[in-house]
Amino acid sequence: MSYFEDLQKKITSKTAHVGIVGLGYVGLPLAVEFAAAGFHVTGIDIDAKKVTLLNRGESYIQDIPTSVLAPLVKSGKLKGTTDFAAVATMDTINICVPTPLRKTKDPDMSYIVNACQEIVKHFHTGVLIILESTTYPGTTNELMLPMFEKPGMKVGDEFFLCFSPERVDPGNAKFQTRNIPKVVGGITPACTKVGALFYQQALETVIPVNSTRVAEMVKLLENTFRMINIGLVNEMAMLCDRMGIDVWEVIDAAATKPFGFMPFYPGPGLGGHCIPIDPFYLSWKTKQAGIEARFIELAGYINGNMPHFVVDKIQNALNDHSKALKGSRVHVLGVAYKRDIDDVRESPALDIIHLLGKRGASVTYSDPYVPHLHADGVVADMTAIDADKGAADADCVVIVTDHKDLDYTRIVERAKLIVDTRNALKGNPSAKIVRL
């Protein structure tokens, strides 16, 4: 029996030992789905705290309730370790590690390289490796394949290598790991086939594509599409502001067109693990090919300037109320990068707080999901205060993240002035509200 046939048999019989490298917001939900589908899953992470919590059955990811995780751990279907020696017993390995940008906007591949170097130490025949970390087209083929393919270890024969982009949307109750269509492309047709077969055991819909490059580009197209359209509508917001036009009313009216228009909404800036970062992987790669990604660069510039636009808006609003920004108390409502989650990665709130501080404002914040703010030097460590008190004490309240749990009626009653960057107070005619 060939390695290909043997691995297919293990996968369909659910006797394959599944490994997940990286137990964050992508890796842990994936591990839970495969454990729930009947596989024995081992997660590997260099963060001992995550591994300890996992082995106690305690979830540290908002989208995975402890009530779901604990029974899988108790049954022995799911466990964690910090030891890459576990790779020796694995039949499949999903790599779900971070891929941040350096300050120079070029990809930081160190997490992928480090994970692969550890895996290689315990690598064996008949294993399927799938990279899920978002990256530039060519990573799987150009960076990973040479690390694994050696004499007697030929891809598509002795081992199998694929790319499958993560599409996780934290806080989305409707679409989660199980029911988000899963794109997968392999180095060879055999790799694609076994990769698709693997995902079909636990996920509802699998979309095979012809190569790892196609799969890598799929994710970048998805997020570049969003980033550019958000950049466009943010620019429209700035134009409408100059012309005294309500951009929110414009968008609502345009959205009544039943074809040819898709509504996007302005905001204080881009945040999260994907949209502010992923398009620059593509921009970096195209520059290597001598092509300039002008849409990406321009949209990045516009979106990057939105926190400055918001702070100018706050300053102008205070001026209209005969107050200077310097010395004023400004209360920020919501610091997560989007509503109803606890994630502050790349959140525009951090830049807004930083800019307000530089202009001499005294800044406080409230967020029901983020009780403490540790922003790695962007801002000083802060602790959330009660939203009612923050609104009542502030000279200006700024709605940066429109969490549903916030009582906006009470906030409007208590606040002296509000700058609403999310249209959270839509329909409220109060003169104290200034909209983006």
Residue 193 has pLDDT above 80, yes or no: yes
Q: Is 274 a catalytic residue?
A: yes
Residue 296 has pLDDT above 90, yes or no: no
Q: Are 290 and 284 in contact (CB under 8 A)?
A: no
Q: Which domains does the chain have, with CATH numbers?
A: 3-214 (3.40.50.720), 226-435 (3.40.50.720)
Sheet with 182-186, edge to edge strand ranges: 78-81, 40-44, 17-21, 92-95, 128-131, 160-163, 182-186, 206-209
Name the DSSP letter for residue 407: -
Catalytic residue among 96, 162, 191, 274: 274
What burial class does residue 121 get, using C-beta atoms within 10 Å of its C-beta: 0-12 exposed, 13-18 middle, 19+ buried?
Answer: exposed
Residue 205 has pLDDT above 70, yes or no: yes
The CA-atom distances, in angstroms, between 98 and each of 52, 122, 364 are: 20, 22, 30
Phi, psi of 163 (to 5 degrees): -125, 135
Residue 280 has pLDDT above 80, yes or no: no
- The 10s digit of each residue's pLDDT in 217-272 is 999 899 889 999 999 999 999 999 999 999 999 999 999 999 999 999 999 998 76
Phi, psi of 354 (to 5 degrees): -60, -45
Instruction: Give pLDDT, residue 276.
Output: 64
pTM comes to 0.90
Residue 188 has pLDDT above 90, yes or no: yes
